[in-house]
Amino acid sequence: MDTIDWSNLSFGYMKTDYNVRSYYRDGKWSEPQLETSEYLNLHMAATCLHYGQEVFEGQKAFMGKDGKVRIFRMRDNALRMQSSARGILMAEPPVELFEEMVVTAVKKNRRFVPPYESGASLYIRPLLIGTTAQVGVRPAKEYLLIVFVTPVGPYFKEGFKPTPMVILREYDRAAPLGTGRYKVGGNYAAGLPADEKAHRMGYSSVLYLDAKEKKYIDECGPANFFGIKNNTYVTPESTSILPSITNKSLMQLAKDMGMKIEQRRVPVEELSTFEEAGACGTAAVISPISRIDDLAENKTYVFCTDDKPGPVCEKLYHKLRAIQYGDEPDPYGWITVL
Ligand code: PLP
Ligand code: COI
């Protein structure tokens, strides 16, 4: 334990002491069970392995200066997991069960919550899988909800520093009436080739356009997109993006800073009008975008020329982090203090 270099953690996996599990059988969820094993005993014909019945969540807990641990917007993650589960016909874990399991997983692994000064956090990964053995394409009757945690540093290795992103028009992530709005594993599998290509070319992430018309901005790999202009926070509305809890939080903070909020379709050409742009998500927090290259169209949109985030990104980032770490009061009821 003493050997963990908290300030240099990457967004990886590290074994912790416990995970928490609940089994759905005969229409009922079991009492949460504490587990020390990192492995599952799973039937080879389980629906999660063959037909993608798998949804997950991503959330974080933060160690405050006061030594208290704070979990961010846990209820919103519970509700989003329910929506994802409904989206691919899985049993929905009750909000209370989800919250109890998250709290237990954090409390039992408290020694893995990175210290305040490190700027790192404890990533919480709730995972729901279909476990019934069957070969026909039908929803499972039995499910397993697991919550595990792992300490993490920044998702983009540059942290809160502007990075370039790329539009690769030859790839789609999710269809307008498909599963993009749910946090299902298949969406991430579909995104792997574009992600790999973008990384190989030196970009931090792909910026996806809507799959149907290729006219509007969808989202940035594992994060939502936002642009800033004329004291306005603009973010795409689309049926194929994941409703980000970070984005929802930033919209609230921006509104309270006196900015206007526009959640609507955002045409690609509008990129040329933004003073700042960023990607936001639990893992990414805010990742300012330095420029976006639309390779097929041979266009480049530049948001900053030095290594510094713009002033609005800067303000939003510090405000969000201050609430998450407990440096500033939480007027919105977003935090569960342990
Ligand atoms: N979009 C996608 C595809 C994601 O995987 C995530 C991460 O959860 C987000 C957006 C950001 O959502 P949130 O802010 O709730 O973490
Ligand atoms: C998150 O931001 O929590 C994510 O799930 C993104 C990625 C690690 C899949």
Does 93 contact ligand 2 (Cβ within 6 A)?
Answer: no
pLDDT at 75 exceeding the cut of 60 = yes
CA 278–ligand 1 middle distance (angstroms): 13
CA 136–ligand 2 middle distance (angstroms): 31
pLDDT at 237 exceeding the cut of 80 = yes
pLDDT at 83 exceeding the cut of 60 = yes
Q: Which atom of ligand 1 is nearest to the CA of 221?
A: 3
What stretch of H or E contains 21?
strand 19-25
Ligand nearest to the CA of 173: 1
The predicted model scores a pTM of 0.96
- Banded model confidence at residue 328, pLDDT cuts 50, 70, 90: very high
Average pLDDT, integer, range 129-151: 98
- The b/e string for 232-253 (b: 16+ C-beta within 10 A; e otherwise) is ebbbbebebbbbbbbbebbbeb
State the pLDDT at residue 2: 58
CA 244–ligand 1 middle distance (angstroms): 5
pLDDT at 211 exceeding the cut of 90 = yes
Task: State the residue for tokens 């997950």.
Answer: 56
- The b/e string for 215-229 (b: 16+ C-beta within 10 A; e otherwise) is ebbbbbbbbbbbbbe
Does 58 contact ligand 2 (Cβ within 6 A)?
Answer: yes
Ligand nearest to the CA of 81: 1
State the pLDDT at residue 158: 76
Q: What's the angle, vertex CA 295, arms to CA 290 and CA 296, rounded to 5?
A: 150
Q: Which amino acid is at 7?
A: S
pLDDT at 240 exceeding the cut of 60 = yes
Give the integer Cα–Cα distance in Å for 216 and 219: 10
pLDDT at 156 exceeding the cut of 90 = no
Does 105 contact ligand 2 (Cβ within 6 A)?
Answer: no
CA 63–ligand 1 middle distance (angstroms): 22
CA 222–ligand 2 middle distance (angstroms): 6
Average pLDDT, integer, range 205-228: 97
Give the integer Cα–Cα distance in Å for 149 and 190: 25
Give the integer Cα–Cα distance in Å for 261 and 7: 35
State the pLDDT at residue 138: 97
Question: In this structure, is the dihedral angle defined by the CA atoms of residues 84, 88, 93 and 95, taken in order, positive or negative?
Answer: positive
- Banded model confidence at residue 305, pLDDT cuts 50, 70, 90: confident
Q: Measuring CA to CA, which residue among 172, 204, 203, 208 is closest to residue 190?
A: 172
CA 282–ligand 2 middle distance (angstroms): 6
State the pLDDT at residue 1: 54
Listed in sequence order, the residues at least 6 apart from 21 whose beta carbon sits closer than 8 Å to its beta carbon are 32, 33, 35, 144, 145, 146, 147
Give the integer Cα–Cα distance in Å for 245 and 65: 24
Average pLDDT, integer, range 73-95: 98
pLDDT by residue (tens digit) across 11-57?
999 999 999 999 999 999 999 999 999 999 999 999 999 999 999 99
State the pLDDT at residue 157: 73
Q: Measuring CA to CA, which residue among 191, 168, 170, 169 is closest to residue 180?
A: 191
Average pLDDT, integer, range 68-80: 98
pLDDT by residue (tens digit) across 251-282?
999 999 999 999 999 999 999 999 999 999 99
Pocket test for ligand 2, best of 55, 128, 155, 187 (most atoms within 8 A of CB): 155
Residue nearest to atom 9 of ligand 2 (CA): 222
CA 281–ligand 1 middle distance (angstroms): 5
Ligand nearest to the CA of 242: 1
- The pLDDT mean for the chain works out to 96
Which residues, judged by CB distance below 6 Å to any ligand atom, belong to the binding site of ligand 1? Answer: 58, 219, 222-224, 242, 244-247, 281-282
Q: Strands (DSSP E) along 38-142, which ranges? A: 54-56, 59-63, 69-72, 121-130
CA 228–ligand 2 middle distance (angstroms): 23
ipTM metric: 0.97
